[in-house]
Every structure is written in structure tokens, then in C-alpha cells.
Amino acid sequence: MFARVFNALIFGSIFILLLDFLLFVGLKINYFDHYGIDEYFNTIFVDNQPYIVLFLLSIGLGYAMLYLKKRRVYDRIYILLVLIFATTFYQPVAEVVGSFLFAQKNQQLQVLDENVTIDILYRGRQSIYLKKPDLSRAVKYKYSEVKILNL
């Protein structure tokens, strides 16, 4: 039994991480680069991983694809998931998904001693990226320059 679970974990991890990688590459190209968010890809990828969920999904998917009787059904479902995750390579989809995962709309902030209501596009390790209404790209501020007023 341990061998089956371990094999399922390894096998499933490969396939789950492929989906995860597809999602984040699409977001990097069509959300982060579109708004000029200049965070390093590995930082974005590592900082935004639900590791426990990925672990459990890896075991579940691996076990379903390797050991269940109807594994061909799970293979087809996985191919469908690959196609769905690959849609983040399409700009409008990536913008919706990126906004859902990272953006915070209408936040009350104090930016350089000025109170504003603005959208946060992404919170990095050392910087925060804001979307000003008159600009198409994000404006980068260090956390020391921004105070979040509504938590």
C-alpha cells in the first residue's frame, strides 16, 4: 500500500506541476508582463503555491490515473484540464484569472502621504504594485511608501 501511495505521489506530482506551471507561465506572460510587474518568475511561482493542496491533488490524481479501473476517464479529464489551464496564454483569460488570484479592488491606501482608493494588482516580497486609473501599467512602490488603511 505504501508503494502505491508513493508511486501515486510521484506520478501525480509530475502531472499536477505541469498544470501549475502552465497556469503560472500564462499568467507571467499575459498578466504580470502586461501590467509591467517586474517580479522574478520563480518568486511569483514559489510564493503563491498551496503546497498541501498540491500534495493531496498529486496523490489523488496519481492514484486515479495509475490504479483505478476507469483510469482512461481520468486521463481524458486531465487532458481537458491541460487545455483549460493553457487558456491563460490568451490575454483576456489571463487577466481575469490573474485579477482573481492576485488583485484587490478599491483598496484604501496611503501612498506617499496621500490617501487614495486604488486597485492592488500584486503584492510581492518587497514591493506592491498598484493600478492607477490613468495608466495602463502598474506602479511599483516599496512597502515603506504605502500604508494599507482598510484591512
Taking the domains of the chain in order of start, what are their residue ranges?
Answer: 2-99, 103-148
pTM of the model: 0.85
Distance, in Å, from the CA atom of 118 to the CA atom of 129, rounded to the nearest integer, reads 10
Residue pLDDT tens, the chain, 151 long: 888 899 999 999 999 999 999 999 999 999 999 999 988 887 888 888 889 999 999 999 999 999 988 888 988 999 999 999 999 999 999 999 999 999 999 889 888 888 888 999 999 889 999 998 888 899 999 988 888 887 5
Instruction: List the 104-111 sheet strands across, edge first.
Output: 138-142, 127-131, 114-123, 104-111, 146-148
- Residue 107: phi, psi to the nearest 5? -95, 140
